[in-house]
Amino acid sequence: MSKRISVLILAVMLLCLSACSGSDKAAAQMLAGEQLAKKNCKACHGQGINGAPIIGNKKMWGPRIAKGREALVMNAFNGYGLMPAKGGNENITKEEIDLVVGYFLSELEAQ
């Protein structure tokens, strides 16, 4: 496990210790997803490079969401069209991609 990830997990655990009650596990996961997205995905998904669906843009995500979270995670993990496998970061795990997709989906609900 890379140091970066360990630090991230520690941060999430600390956040949980200090602020958690019930549904805050979800909030901690969301935060982890957001941090991972910032590092690995926002370069393209922040502004739609090569047609990447922009974070929070319902119109762009609509037809993709219909595939279901599992399929989105698999496509992000394996690569899909102009989307490079794992966003080009060999070290990212499927669990981490799942956290990012969870964050993407929550950004769509928020608006």
Q: Does residue 58 interact with ligand HEC by CB under 6 A?
A: no
User: 106: which 2 tokens?
Assistant: 């929550």
Are the CB atoms for 28 and 16 separated by under 8 Å? yes
Please tell me whether residue 68 adopts helix, strand or coil conformation: coil
- Selected range binding ligand HEC among 9-17, 24-32, 44-52, rule: CB under 6 A: 44-52
DSSP label at residue 58? H
Residue 20 or 78 having the CB closest to ligand HEC: 78
Are the CB atoms for 38 and 103 separated by under 8 Å? no
CB of 3 to ligand HEC, least distance (A): 18
Q: Which residues, 60 to 99, sit near ligand HEC by CB under 6 A?
A: 64, 67, 72, 75-76, 80-84, 86-88, 92, 97
